[in-house]
Structures are given as C-alpha cells and as structure tokens.
C-alpha cells in the first residue's frame, strides 16, 4: 500500500507552537473549522519575519502569538460607521468598510468584522479599536490564492500605526461573506491566536490534513461495485492541550442516502501534549479502505470525529470534519453536487490577482482533472460552470463576453506532478478532444452556463483528462467550491486536481495546485453511457440504392454489416413491405417486383439501433 507523506508538514510528528496560530470558528456549527488568513507586518505574528518589509512594520500590537496560550476569543460584530452609499464594484454598503470613525463604543469587547476597499488597514483597525473592538477581521475584496503570504502593512510614515494595539487578520471574501451571513442569524464566536496550551484538554484535526473522496460527484457507471469505486480515509490528529491524552477515539463513518451507517471504524490513539499522530494508509494507525458492494444513487456523508477518553474536549469545534459525495447517473465532479439538482455547488467566484506589473493577464485557463480505470464507459457531452463579472454597474455585464470550454487529454500529467509544484514553467502536453466557443448573450453579472460539445467524446480508461474554461483578458470570475480540501487526497493520488494557467505577455505559467487545495473548480462534467454514443454516431447512416428507378430488385449499399429490418412505405406512410436481410460487405438487396409503380421510402433498421433511409422509384 502506498504511504502518504504530507508535504506541508514533513519532518516528524512533533509541531512547533508558532505554527499553531489559527483563526477558528467556534460557534455556531456552520462556522466551525480553520480559516486561511493574512496578518499584520508585526513581529507578534510568528508567520511574519521581522525585516521582511522594513519600512512597513509600524504597528503597535503588544501581543506575541508565538507564546503558547496567547489568543483572543469572542463574538463578532459587523462594523457600521454610518457612511452612506454602496460600493460600485461589489455592491456592499460603504458603512461596512470602516473607513470613518464609529460613534460611541458599539464594538466593546467584540471582534470587529469589516470589509476591505479603499482606505488603509491601519485606519480601519484604529477606528474599530477606538469603538471598543478587541480584534479586527478584515474581509478581503477577492478570493486570493496567496492570501496567507500577503501581509497587511503599516508604513513608517503612518502616525496611526503605533496606535493600533489590537490584532488584525484578513480572510478571503468568500469566507468573510459566509461569516457575515451567519452573523445575521445569531451570535458568531471566533478564536484568533495560539491554540497550544490554551485549553487543558484539546485534541483537534486540521482540514488541510484530512482525506476526502477523490470525487464528490460520482457517476454511477463508474461505481458499479466496491472494486470500481473506493477510497482511503485518514487524517492527522493534534494534541494542542496542556494535558497528555490516552485512549482517545478517532472515528470515521460513512452514511448512505437513506441515512444508514455503512462504514464505522475506530482508531485508538494516545498523544502527549504538543504531539501529533498520522492515521493514513501505510502508517501504523490506519483506517480500512471504504468500499461498498453497490452504490444506490444519492448523497453519502463521510464524517470524522475525535473523542477523548471519558472527558470533554475543552475546545471541540475542531474535532469533526464532514464531506459528502453524490452518486448519480449524469455528472462526474471534483466539486460537491447539490443532491437535488445535481449542479455543482459554487461558493466563490474567483480569478487570479492582477499581475504585479499591472494590467490583466492575456489568458487565464481554469481546469479540473479526472481519470478512471473504467472511463471508457462514459462519453463527455459537456460541463456546467458559473461565470461572472465583478461589477454591479449596469454597463458591466456578461453580455458580449465569451469563453472557450475544452476537454483536453493530458498526456504528461504524471510527469508534471513528479516535477513538483515549484516547476511552474513545465509545459502541459494537452490534446483537445472537444471544444466550444461560448458567447454570453444575457445582460447579467453572473450566469450558470452549460457548455455542450457538438459531439460527445468517448473517454479512454486510465487516461488523464481536464475540462477547462479559458478567459482571454476579460477579467471574468469562475465559480469554485470552497467546501472540500484535496491537500491530503491529491498527495495519495499523486495528481494535480485543479491546475491553473496564466499568460502574461509571452510568459506562460502553470500552477498545478491552482488556487490551493481548498479551492476546487465547481465544474459538473455531464457524461452519458458511451454505448449510446456509439449508436448515435451510427444513426442516419448515409446509404445508396441502385438501380434507381428499378423494375424489381433494389441493391442497397450502407457502410455497416449485420442483420437489419427493411420496411418499405408509400408516400401516405403505409407500410407495403417488410424484409429481414443481412448486410455483408455493406451490401444487401430486396425484390420490389410485387409493388405497383410509384415512389417509395426504404427504411433500414439494424439490430444495434443504427438506421438509414432513402427514396426509390418503382417503374
């Protein structure tokens, strides 16, 4: 069995306290989990190296998050500084940007949530702090794949920088919108800081190190039994708490569409404070592979749970992880599917950040890869995706814009993966198997499109393919699903799942990991039974009949051998003759001597469903 080595944390099972500075949703359940975040250019954040931006480190935050147990946890509050108007690009109220002071002390003892836009991070943070905030979460105006490395600076010349003494973090637009939506339903509590030692009893998992199904939309023709569709489960468990833990239970379950538990496995672990343990294929601790004898259509739910032995976990919001996959007769997808509509679930509309030199990319290609040992059972007829523009301005819509939608065979996929993510200049050997130029005709800012190829393409077994959308410098956004994380799974499979290509001038760059393992193109690949395509391609075969006109015998030449039924109808549609024939060498004949003079239609129907028709004249 292949052993997984998780590249993001190679080097043993112990971890450093500095790496455990996290932003975590505590409650309600809808916000629980870890959030990718950016920090201030301040030495108090272990992820920032002092001197990296020497003229922009003018913050006054006294906290040192490298110290274990240093954290802030409290309820979120949405900033409202009273500014009138709406952001012309994103449609958000300007009052949520916090670019002006807020009267009174409405954020007292809470974590302020505000939106990024035109004013500086320093001013936003200071105004929130002056209104009582104990920390700030900035909601970005894009979904930035490199968010964690894009720090928030305070220039040496900014006199307000030293006045900001509270921590400031920035999260993606999609994550921020999700939090804001949840805040409308009730209190939302977040944790910002170093979890190590913050709680006495605290085991946890990290979404970046949890194995998920390789496909979240599973075509039923690829899941006939457990040998055809199966997957490994696994995760890394951490002990962030102040106490050692013995005999903790790590549980993995799978429930079928009826809600019945069809997989239920436990692994017992013991962890000293500050340690972690891997439960992956090939490790001393591992779950059995998941497989079923049959896969009824519907949504299956995979869930991981960590339970301490006889005591409660003091911080249990990161003790569970859930994933789903939907078995269906229509779609294959890396992204999640809606179990009712079978459409891919779109959580973010994304595009690359603008080139460092300004302007826009000449070409951006968004891709989702797939391959299967039984792929020849399928023919791809097209795929679903969501495309949008940034602005809500009436003059900026999708109307008049276009994309290319392609199905590629990716012949050097394994070599590209082996070359590692850092080799972004390695050429991808792609052969187009189906292509479409799609024009947007509707005056809308977002459209769920179906890119239907002219002819379904029959796949080959064990061949890597990609479906891709290409935008030529129009700055379009493409729908992605943020609800799955392929970091661990793609390392076991040893394949890039969501490649991204950008062209700037003459420079072509491929990013095998795309925007990151937690951003998956929300593409629903529509596939049909390949055997029906074979028939459709043979339907309406062109044939000829001679002599025509004829006195009696008519010879038929059709490019297909086999048994067929020949029916002869007159111009009123009445069947006047039926014959069973066998085509050999593409030839067969029938005798029309008994028919009266006139025009007739000869219909040939083969046993496999193919057909042909032509007109003849009987003298």
CATH number at residue 416: 2.60.120
Q: Same domain for 602 and 579? A: yes
Percent of the chain surpassing pLDDT 70: 93
pLDDT at residue 364, as a whole number? 96
Query: CB of 346 within 8 A of CB of 479?
Result: yes
The pLDDT value recorded for residue 89 is 73
Same domain, 85 and 164: yes
Q: Please tell me whether residue 194 adopts helix, strand or coil conformation.
A: strand
Do residues 480 and 416 both lie within one domain?
yes
- pLDDT-derived band at 596 (thresholds 50, 70, 90) equals confident
Residue 375, pLDDT > 50, answer: yes
Q: Is residue 588 in some structural domain?
A: yes
Q: Do 500 and 515 touch, CB atoms closer than 8 A? A: yes
Q: Are residues 431 and 514 in the same domain?
A: yes
- Is the same domain home to 189 and 223? no
Burial of 303 (0-12, 13-18, 19+ CB in 10 A): middle
Question: Which residues touch 352 (CB under 8 Å, ≥6 apart)?
Answer: 145, 361, 364, 500, 502, 515
Q: Has residue 498 been placed in a domain?
A: yes
Of 538 and 295, the one with more pLDDT? 295
Quickly list DSSP for 29-79. GGG-EE---EEBSSTTSTTS-TTSSTTSB-------TTSTT-EEEEEEEE-
Q: How far apart are CA 313 and CA 310, in angstroms?
A: 10
Q: With respect to residue 342, please indicate whether it lies within any of the assigned structural domains.
A: no
The CATH number for 228's domain is 2.60.40.10
How much is the pLDDT for 562?
A: 85
Identify whether 2 is part of a domain: no
Q: How many domains does the chain have?
A: 4
The pLDDT score that the predictor gives to residue 373 is 97
Three-class secondary structure assignment of 342-404: CCECCCEEECCCCCCCCCCCCEEEEEEEECCCCHHHEEEEEEEEEEECCCCCCCCCCCCCEEE
Residue 16 has pLDDT above 70, yes or no: no
Residue 512 three-state SS: coil
Which tokens hold the place of 595? 């028919």
297, 329, 361 — which closes off a domain?
329
Lowest mean pLDDT among 27-36, 274-283, 417-426: 417-426
CA gap 233, 253 in Å, rounded: 10
Confidence of residue 279 (pLDDT cuts 50, 70, 90): very high
Residue with the larger pLDDT of the pair 295 and 86: 295
pLDDT tens, position by position, 518-574: 899 999 999 999 988 755 554 556 677 888 888 889 998 888 888 899 998 886 668
Q: How far apart, in whole angstroms, are the C-alpha atoms of residue 70 and residue 135?
A: 13
Is there a domain that residue 341 lies in? Answer: no
Last residue of a domain, one of 151, 174, 194: 194
Domain boundaries, position 575 = 540-618
Cβ distance 368 to 336 under 8 Å?
A: no
Q: What whole-number percentage of the chain has pLDDT above 90?
A: 67
Do residues 67 and 170 make contact, with C-beta atoms less than 8 angstroms apart? no
Confidence at residue 295, expressed as pLDDT on a 0 to 100 scale:
98
Other beta carbons within 10 angstroms of residue 420's beta carbon come to 11
Please state, in angstroms and rounded to a whole number, the distance separating the CA atoms of residues 147 and 13. 26
Provide DSSP, 187-213: --EEEEEE-TTTSSS-EEEEEEEE---
Same domain, 220 and 157: no
Which among 52-56, 141-145, 364-368, 513-517 has the top mean pLDDT? 364-368
Phi, psi of 186 (to 5 degrees): 155, 180
Where does the pLDDT of residue 11 fall: very low under 50, low under 70, confident under 90, or very high at 90 and above? very low
pLDDT band (50, 70, 90) for residue 391 = low
Co-location of 607 and 572 in the same domain:
yes
Span 117-124, average pLDDT: 92
| Residue 343 belongs to some domain of the structure | no
Same domain for 103 and 215: no
21 found inside a domain:
yes
Between residues 250 and 15, which one has the greater pLDDT?
A: 250
Query: Closest Cα to residue 135, out of 23, 35, 57, 49?
Result: 23
The pLDDT of residue 452 is: 95
Q: Is residue 182 part of a domain?
A: yes
- The string of pLDDT tens digits covering residues 147-202 is 877 899 999 899 999 999 999 999 988 899 999 999 999 999 999 999 888 899 99
CATH of the domain at 149: 3.50.30.30
Band of the pLDDT at 368, cuts 50, 70, 90? very high
Looking at the predicted structure, is the pLDDT value of residue 420 above 90? no
Residue 437 has pLDDT above 80, yes or no: yes
Structure token pair of residue 332: 């294959």
Rounded mean pLDDT, 419-440: 83
Residue where a domain terminates, one of 532, 552, 570? 532
Q: Are residues 503 and 605 in the same domain?
A: no
| Residue-wise pLDDT tens digits, 191-249 | 999 988 889 999 999 888 999 999 999 999 999 999 999 999 999 999 999 999 999 99
CATH number, domain containing residue 601: 2.60.40.1930
Place of tokens 């499979």: 493
Question: Which residue bears the tokens 């111009």?
Answer: 571
pLDDT digits (tens, 9 = 90+) for 606-617: 877 778 877 787
Question: Is the pLDDT confidence value at 433 over 60?
Answer: yes
* DSSP category for residue 268: E
Return the structure tokens found at 497.
């799942």
pLDDT band at 365 (very low <50, low <70, confident <90, very high): very high
Pairing of strands 276-279, 235-239: antiparallel
* Residue predicted with more confidence, 418 or 332: 332
**Greater model confidence, 34 or 525:** 525
227 plus 185 within the same structural domain:
no
Average the pLDDT over 387-407 and give the result: 85
pLDDT at 332: 98
Q: Are residues 66 and 115 in the same domain?
A: yes
- As a whole number, the mean pLDDT across the chain is 89
Confidence label for 2 from pLDDT (cuts 50, 70 and 90): very low
Is residue 573 located within the same domain as residue 606? Answer: yes
Q: What is the pLDDT of residues 479-523, one digit of tens each?
A: 999 889 999 999 989 999 999 999 988 889 899 989 888 899 999
Contact by Cβ (8 Å): 387, 479: yes
- Residue among 14, 417, 11, 40 at smallest CA distance from 192: 40
Indicate the SS3 state at residue 173.
Answer: helix
């Amino acid at each position: 069995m292949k052993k997984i080595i998780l590249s993001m944390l190679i080097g043993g099972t112990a971890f450093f306290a500095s790496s455990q500075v996290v932003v975590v949703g505590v409650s309600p359940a809808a916000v629980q989990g870890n959030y990718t975040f950016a920090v201030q250019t301040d030495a108090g954040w272990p992820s920032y190296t002092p001197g990296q931006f020497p003229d922009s480190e003018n913050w006054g935050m006294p906290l040192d998050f490298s110290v274990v147990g240093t954290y802030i946890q409290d309820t979120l509050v949405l900033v409202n500084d009273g500014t009138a108007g709406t952001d012309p690009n994103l449609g958000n109220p300007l009052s949520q940007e916090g670019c002006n002071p807020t009267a009174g002390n409405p954020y007292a003892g809470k974590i302020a949530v505000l939106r990024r836009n035109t004013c500086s991070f320093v001013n936003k943070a200071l105004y929130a702090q002056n209104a009582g905030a104990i920390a700030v979460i900035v909601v970005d105006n894009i979904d930035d794949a490199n968010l964690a490395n894009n720090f928030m600076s305070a220039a040496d010349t900014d006199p307000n920088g030293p006045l900001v003494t509270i921590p400031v973090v920035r999260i993606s637009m999609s994550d921020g919108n999700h939090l804001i939506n949840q805040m409308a339903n009730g209190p939302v509590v977040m944790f910002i800081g170093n979890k190590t030692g913050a709680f006495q009893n605290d085991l946890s998992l990290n979404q970046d190190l949890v194995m998920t199904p390789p496909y979240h939309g599973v075509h039923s023709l690829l899941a006939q039994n457990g040998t055809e569709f199966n997957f490994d489960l696994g995760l890394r468990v951490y002990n962030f708490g102040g106490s050692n833990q013995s005999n903790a239970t790590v549980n993995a379950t799978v429930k079928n569409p009826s809600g019945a538990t069809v997989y239920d496995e436990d692994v017992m672990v013991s962890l000293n404070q500050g340690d972690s343990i891997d439960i992956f294929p090939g490790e001393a601790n591992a779950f059995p592979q998941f497989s079923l004898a049959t896969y009824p259509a519907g949504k299956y739910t995979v869930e991981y749970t960590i339970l301490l032995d006889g005591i409660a976990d003091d911080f249990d919001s990161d003790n569970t992880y859930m994933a789903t996959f939907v078995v269906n007769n229509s779609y294959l997808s890396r992204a999640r599917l809606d179990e009712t509509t079978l459409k891919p679930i779109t959580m973010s509309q994304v595009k690359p950040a603008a080139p460092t030199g300004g302007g826009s990319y000449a070409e951006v290609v968004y891709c989702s890869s797939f391959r299967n040992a039984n792929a020849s059972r399928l023919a791809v007829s097209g795929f679903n995706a969501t495309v949008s523009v940034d602005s809500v301005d009436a003059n900026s819509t999708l109307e008049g814009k276009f994309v290319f939608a392609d199905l590629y065979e990716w012949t050097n996929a394994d070599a590209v993966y082996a070359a590692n993510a850092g080799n972004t200049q390695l050429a991808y050997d792609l052969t187009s198997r189906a292509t479409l130029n799609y024009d947007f005709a509707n005056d809308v800012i977002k459209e769920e499109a179906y890119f239907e190829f002219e002819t379904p393409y029959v796949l080959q077994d064990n061949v890597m393919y990609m479906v891709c959308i290409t935008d030529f410098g129009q700055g379009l956004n493409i729908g992605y699903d943020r609800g799955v994380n392929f970091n661990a799974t793609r390392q076991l499979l040893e394949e890039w799942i969501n490649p991204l290509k950008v062209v700037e001038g003459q420079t072509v760059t491929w990013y095998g990991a795309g925007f990151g393992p937690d951003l998956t193109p929300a593409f629903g690949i529509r596939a049909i039974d390949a055997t029906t395509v074979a028939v459709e391609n043979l339907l309406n075969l062109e044939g000829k009949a001679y002599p025509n006109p004829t006195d009696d015998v008519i010879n038929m030449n059709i490019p297909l051998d086999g048994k067929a039924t020949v029916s002869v109808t007159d111009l009123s549609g009445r069947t006047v003759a039926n014959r069973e024939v066998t085509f050999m060498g593409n030839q067969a004949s029938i005798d029309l001597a008994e028919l009266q003079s006139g025009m007739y239609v000869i219909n040939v129907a083969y046993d496999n469903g193919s057909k042909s028709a032509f007109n003849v004249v009987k003298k």
